[in-house]
Amino acid sequence: MSFYVFTPLAKADIFSIWSSIAVDNQRAADRVEQAIYAACAFIAEAPLRGHVRPSVTSRSLRFWTLTRYRNYAIVYRPETTPLQVVAIVHGKRNLRRVLKPRL
């Protein structure tokens, strides 16, 4: 069994993503939300599956792009138990700006 937790800001990210998509299509919003949870469970099983982004941060964070919804990435701390999800971000957002207050 895999374990992961969301920081309060990561929970807010999920709500924001869902709300934004649900304005047009609630079912689509539900599918994206479920894909986020499934991806978190997948990476929690083997936290080194993600990749590092030294151009974004020197911290020990890893990034995992959702397979089906490639515009979204999960940012997490691989060394924590349970795995700590720091952010879920859209690829067009400025990652440095998003992550700065979360570290």
Rounded CA separation 48/45 (Å): 9
Q: Which of these, 50, 37, 53, lies nearest to 4 by C-alpha position?
A: 37
Contact between residue 47 and residue 61 where contact means Cβ atoms under 8 Å apart: no
**pLDDT class of 2 with cuts at 50, 70, 90:** low
H or E segment and range at residue 5? strand 4-6
pLDDT value, residue 59: 84
pLDDT value, residue 15: 97
Sequence ranges of the domains in the chain: 4-102
The pLDDT tens digits of the residues spanning 39-93 come to: 999 999 999 999 999 888 878 899 999 999 999 999 999 999 999 999 999 988 8
Check pLDDT > 70 for residue 1. Answer: no
pTM, full prediction? 0.90
- Domain 4-102 fold: YaeB-like fold (3.30.2310)
